[in-house]
A = this chain, B = another copy of it.
Amino acid sequence: MILIPVRTKLIKKGDDLTSVILSSLRKNGLKLKDKDILLIASKVASIAEGRTVKLKDVTASLKAKEIAKEVDLDEKQVELILMHAEKIYGKVHKALLTLKNGFLIANAGIDKSNCKPDEVVLWPSNPQDSAEKIRKEIFKRTKKRVGIVIVDSRTAPLRWGTIGLALGFSGFHPIKDYRFKKDIFGNTFQITLQNLIDDLACAAHLLMGEAKEKTPIVLARDVPVKFSSKINVNSVFIPPDKCLYMKVLNENFKQASSLSS
């Protein structure tokens, strides 16, 4: 498996991301092949889609001000987090633990880095659609059948730092199902699934960096996934009542409700 970071120009609102990707590949001397996977930083997908908010247009509520003081975040950013989060589970310095579009993520995915100093960036409005559109557009223009992943970062329990997360994807199966298959000793797997899409998002995240690397695209080649244009997009979300973490977190939901209402 090969992963190649692709440098791009600075991406602006209204840019056609497919054009940027294809011209950046050319400038980096790369030629797209069938079954390549293009991983795209969610930040640039958001910016191209115009998903930025000017902080001067936001009025912080009393509640946002209180939380902002407690966690040491900009009060207008907190107001936006309160507006965009479906639930808030807790908070630490600089971060609220939120539920957003089915993801458990810090600050509803709203971020202040790599955008103009007076702005924040929201997630793409529908990262799944963004991935799907780019895949189809690339096929239209190049006739190559590729996979697309929109990559954001998240943190994990008890570990410092961010790892990758697949916000949206298109063109291949995100999960490898081992259930009812045999292991080396002939034992039958009962519950094992492998999350290929988040593993791959992490691999790309390692190369994208978080600062001014300007490599928001990663080309991945020879990735052991099954390509298909018809994918159940929800197959990567575990229902909360089956999730090892959410069962415990949801017991604290009374507190969450009182925070987010």
Report which A residues bind B (CB closer than 8 A). Answer: 1-4, 10, 89-95, 97, 102-104, 106, 112-117, 153-164, 175-176, 178, 181-187, 189-196, 198-200, 202-203, 205-207, 209-212, 214, 223-224, 235-238, 240, 242-249, 251-252, 255
Smallest Cβ distance from A122 to chain B, in angstroms?
17
- The CA-CA distance from A103 to B155 in the complex, in Å, is 14
This chain's copy number in the assembly: 2
Smallest Cβ distance from A27 to chain B, in angstroms?
18
For A200, list chain B residues within 8 Å (CB). 202-203, 206
- The CA-CA distance from A207 to B205 in the complex, in Å, is 17
- Are B116 and A185 within 8 A (Cβ)? yes
- The CA-CA distance from A142 to B192 in the complex, in Å, is 37
- Are B93 and A191 within 8 A (Cβ)? yes
Smallest Cβ distance from A84 to chain B, in angstroms?
17
- Are A199 and B194 within 8 A (Cβ)? no
Contact check: which of B90, B191, B210 meets A178 at CB < 8 Å?
A: B210
For A116, list chain B residues within 8 Å (CB). 185
Smallest Cβ distance from A178 to chain B, in angstroms?
5
For A95, list chain B residues within 8 Å (CB). 191, 244
- Are A183 and B159 within 8 A (Cβ)? no
- Are B244 and A155 within 8 A (Cβ)? yes
- Are A183 and B163 within 8 A (Cβ)? no
For A251, list chain B residues within 8 Å (CB). 252, 255
For A164, list chain B residues within 8 Å (CB). 199, 202
- Are A245 and B1 within 8 A (Cβ)? no
- The CA-CA distance from A90 to B103 in the complex, in Å, is 20
For A163, list chain B residues within 8 Å (CB). 195, 198-199, 202
Q: Which 4 A-B pairs have the closest CB atoms?
A: A161-B195, A202-B202, A203-B203, A161-B193
For A94, list chain B residues within 8 Å (CB). 190-191
Smallest Cβ distance from A123 to chain B, in angstroms?
15
